[in-house]
Structure 1
Amino acid sequence: MTTELDLTNAHLPDLSGTEIPPSLTAVDLTANRLRTIDPRILGLQGLRSINFRQNLIANASALSTSCAKGAMEDLELRDNHLSVIPSLKGFTELRRLECSYNQIRNLLPLADLDSTKLEELYVASNKVTAMAALSHLGALTLLELGSNRIRAIENIETLTGLRELWLGRNRIAKVDGLATLTNLRRISLQSNRLTSMSGLEHCTSLEELYLSHNGISTLEGLAPLGRLKILDVSSNRITQLHVADLVALTQLEDLWLNDNQLPAIDAALDKALDPVRHSLTCIYLEGNPAAQDPQYKRKLTNMLPKLKQLDSNFL
């Protein structure tokens, strides 16, 4: 009995010449030229996983007639021509939904999603302007909304199980709405409009924090984040480090400070790095005036005895 069908890179315009056994539970149609969803796919009652990645589908509303609503766990619509997320009313078992790289303008259709089991939601690289219709998705552990047009972090206070939140390349000017997300392990706010790090203080489980390409001038609010292992504040406006900035980060392994305005590798920098002296294995400082020091490598390796990587160079 055939349970899987893999037509990846078959470049098919349709499935008219393809046998679709009713026993299928997984179908991969990645990198074809499909514009519509074959009715026989919609008729599969036991289908748990369907992948339409890299096709030409502009309208996926036919999914509302799927006979697999009570079985589907993984639905991938990445890299098509969708302007709307299809209605997923009746899909009770969905655990992963991928709609990135389309032309979707809002998340409102997610309000109809009946699954209480959705763990991963990807809607990156679309035209979404607001975080909406998410509050009922209490099982989410990963939310990816990078490369959209979002201006505010909102309507996710109930998502207390979130472990990963990806919001890079949006228009966010303030870190807000995270007070209840104490289980977050990773957050990305790269390439936004931040001028302050304030607002992360309650995310005490954070291990990775990505804030590059913003307008941040001062490290702040890090004292409660003692579990951090990776801190990326590259391409900001930081002119100085203070020992109080890093004093709680005794587990920090990677510190990215490249492309800021740190003036020199001197006693002040040495003192500021003291709390992470025996944990840091990687530091980026290139693109700062400090990196012009002729003794750049020697001074930093002396300051940081566990260092294994300086900028892109392994030691």
Structure 2
Amino acid sequence: MSKKPFSKIVTLFVIIIFSIFLFAWNGEAVEDTGIIVFEDEDLKKVVMRSLSKPEGPVFRPEVENLTEFSIPSFRHYEINSIKGLEAFLNIKTLRIGPNYISDLTPLAHLTDLERLYIFENHIEDLSPLGKLKELRELIIRGLPPYKKGLPSGKYSGHYIEDISPLAGLVKLEYLKLSHQKISNLETLTQLPNLKTLNVAYNSISDLKPLTALTGLSHLDLEANNIKDISPLRGLKKLTYLNLIRNELTGVKHLSSLEGLQVLLLSGNDLRNIASLTRLVNLEKLDISDNNISVAPGLKEFKGLKELNISGNPIDDINFISECRKLERLLAFNCEIRDISPLRGHNSLKELFLHNNRITDISPLEGLNTLERLDLSGNSIENVSVISGLNKLKYLDLEGCGLTAIEFLKDLGSLEYLELENNRISQIEPLKKHINLKTLVLDNNQIKDISTLGELMNLKVLSLNDNQIENIDSLTGLNQLEVLYISGNRIRNIKPLLKLNNLSVVAIKNNQFKLDEDVIKKLEDNKVTVVY
């Protein structure tokens, strides 16, 4: 062989070796180099940050001691691939925030994983998880249909339907697969150690596979297509059961679940719940938005701490007189007139009675433990009893026919106050309410707001549809973030420029000449102006 061809071969070999070395150094390594290949540059940035490493490639030994790792949401990064995570062999806990990840194949190598939490990605195929035999906790939450503020088109059509790859994960104790399109639960019969199961927001109608899960203590089946709940009657260890928004017409099969402490049945078609009277350990019961008109059996639940009967045609709440441990009662959008059964309920902290037919609230006298009270939408004849409820932090009296608010002057603990849709003209009694953070006074007859200048902790103030001409007194409200003053008689909006923390202001339908300079300055300060 001549020297010339030989030298060419040597030269070519050197070039190839050098190229491979250079290629590896730039982070596109073959495995033998010890450099981890990250297909997604944003994932590499997350890893670099977790290692406090400013630059250069990531070597396998650098991640060997990691036992926990988290990938943040798309608001910080836009991660499409988790290739590279297969090198994190000792990881036990992995959290993946909302991103655009669809392929879980790299996780198949992480056989020491015990906890895997994946939120709002593009997951459809669970096959790579079948090898993760040490998993104790698994959460894969799909995207709720009501979620806002997300990049358009990024989340459509990505749901899990087949859960059969999970069949061998016998150590699973906690499983959450919500907001998917799962209809078949047969695989769960092979997961005998499950204690918590959440398959809310799916397409489930058949619960028969759950009969095998006798160790379940927490079961969430919200928003499915369930009519028959008879398979649940043998789950005697259940303490929490959520059946909100299904297609139930009866609940007799739940009567054997005497260990239940929390039972949620809102949004079904129930008319009678008498069969639940054996559930004497209940502490929280939600039967809202059904068709229940009478519920005398509720008096048996003497340990109840929280009860929601809202959205039912109930007019008689005498049963509540027996529920002396109640701390929270939601009974809005009903037909209630008489609230005398509430008299002496000194454990009540939260009471929501809006949109009923209540005129007499004297039974509330002496309920000094109340912190939240909503009586909006009732035609109350005498509100003076409220003046003694001095622990109130939240009060809503919208549309109660109020003309004066003198009764509020000593309620100095108030942080949230809503008085819209009344006939109030004087707000002097609010002068000392320095703890107020949210104040809503829309649609009244208010002209003078000078009193509000002393409420230094206000963050949200709504004064729409009044008779206000001057807003100078608001300039000292340095904590104010949201201000609604549409529908008034304001002529000068320059005082708004002194509100340093303002983020949103609505000024439509006033009498000022549009001051584009002021609006521009506000917008330059990142204030959203609605005009």
TM over 0.5: yes
Shift of 1:235: 0.6
TM-score, normalization by structure 2: 0.52
- Structure 1 equivalent of residue 377 of structure 2: 287
Q: What is the alpha-carbon distance in structure 2 between the residues aligned to residue 227 and residue 144 of structure 1?
A: 22
Shift of 1:247: 4.2
1:80 is paired with a residue of what secondary structure? coil
Q: What is the alpha-carbon distance in structure 2 between the residues aligned to residue 282 and residue 301 of structure 1?
A: 12
Higher relative contact order (CA 8 A, sep 6+): 1
Residues 138 and 176 in structure 2, CA contact (< 8 A), matched pair in contact too: yes
- Structure 1 equivalent of residue 94 of structure 2: 5
- Structure 2 equivalent of residue 260 of structure 1: 356
Q: Return 5+ residue gaps in structure 1 as ranges.
A: none
Q: What is the alpha-carbon distance in structure 2 between the residues aligned to residue 241 and residue 188 of structure 1?
A: 19
Which residue among 381, 386, 389 is the counterpart of 1:301?
Answer: 386
Which residue among 132, 137, 161 is the counterpart of 1:58?
Answer: 161
Cα separation, partners in 2 of 1:227 and 1:202, compared to 1, 3 Å = same
In structure 2, give the amino acid aligned to 1:278: N
1:29 is paired with a residue of what secondary structure? strand
2:386 is paired with a residue of what secondary structure? helix
Q: What is the alpha-carbon distance in structure 2 between the residues aligned to residue 218 and residue 152 of structure 1?
A: 21
* Larger helix fraction of residues: 2
* Larger gyration radius, structure 1 or structure 2: 2
Which residue among 271, 282, 306 is the counterpart of 1:208?
Answer: 306
In structure 2, give the amino acid aligned to 1:283: L
1:88 is paired with a residue of what secondary structure? helix
- Structure 1 equivalent of residue 417 of structure 2: 313
Residues 272 and 292 in structure 2, CA contact (< 8 A), matched pair in contact too: yes
Greater shift in the superposed pair: 201-210 or 217-226? 217-226
Shift of 1:227: 0.5
Q: What is the alpha-carbon distance in structure 2 between the residues aligned to residue 11 and residue 20 of structure 1?
A: 21
Aligned-residue CA RMSD (Å): 2.2
Match status 1:184 vs 2:279: no
Q: Any idea what the Cα deviations from partners look like across 1:226-249, whole Å, max 9, x if unmatched?
A: 11111111110112333xx12462
Residues 178 and 202 in structure 1, CA contact (< 8 A), matched pair in contact too: no
Shift of 1:28: 2.1
Aligned length: 296
- Structure 2 equivalent of residue 28 of structure 1: 117
Q: Any idea what the Cα deviations from partners look like across 1:74-107, whole Å, max 9, x if unmatched?
A: 1111011112334322322211101001111232
Greater shift in the superposed pair: 10-19 or 217-226? 10-19
Q: What is the alpha-carbon distance in structure 1 between the residues aligned to residue 183 and residue 344 of structure 2?
A: 45
Match status 1:159 vs 2:257: yes
Cα separation, partners in 2 of 1:208 and 1:168, compared to 1, 3 Å = same
Aligned runs of 1:241-252 on 2, under 5 Å? 241-242=339-340, 245-247=341-343, 249-252=345-348
Q: What is the alpha-carbon distance in structure 2 between the residues aligned to residue 6 and residue 283 of structure 1?
A: 39
Match status 1:79 vs 2:179: yes
Cα separation, partners in 2 of 1:247 and 1:240, compared to 1, 3 Å = closer
Q: What is the alpha-carbon distance in structure 2 between the residues aligned to residue 236 and residue 135 of structure 1?
A: 31
Aligned runs of 1:12-23 on 2, under 5 Å? 12-18=101-107, 20-23=109-112
- Structure 1 equivalent of residue 199 of structure 2: 99
Which residue among 124, 129, 132 is the counterpart of 1:41?
Answer: 129
Cα separation, partners in 2 of 1:61 and 1:182, compared to 1, 3 Å = same
Q: Return 5+ residue gaps in structure 2 as ranges.
A: 1-89, 143-157, 397-415, 419-432, 434-531
Residues 129 and 165 in structure 2, CA contact (< 8 A), matched pair in contact too: no
Aligned runs of 1:106-117 on 2, under 5 Å? 106-113=206-213, 115-116=214-215
Cα separation, partners in 2 of 1:99 and 1:164, compared to 1, 3 Å = same
TM-score, normalization by structure 1: 0.86
Residues 231 and 254 in structure 1, CA contact (< 8 A), matched pair in contact too: yes
Greater shift in the superposed pair: 174-183 or 75-84? 174-183
Shift of 1:186: 0.5
State the identity %: 25
Shift of 1:208: 0.4
- Structure 1 equivalent of residue 455 of structure 2: none
- Structure 1 equivalent of residue 364 of structure 2: 273
Q: Any idea what the Cα deviations from partners look like across 1:243-297, whole Å, max 9, x if unmatched?
A: xx1246231222211100113x4xxx31x334x533333321110122xx6x74x
Match status 1:227 vs 2:355: no
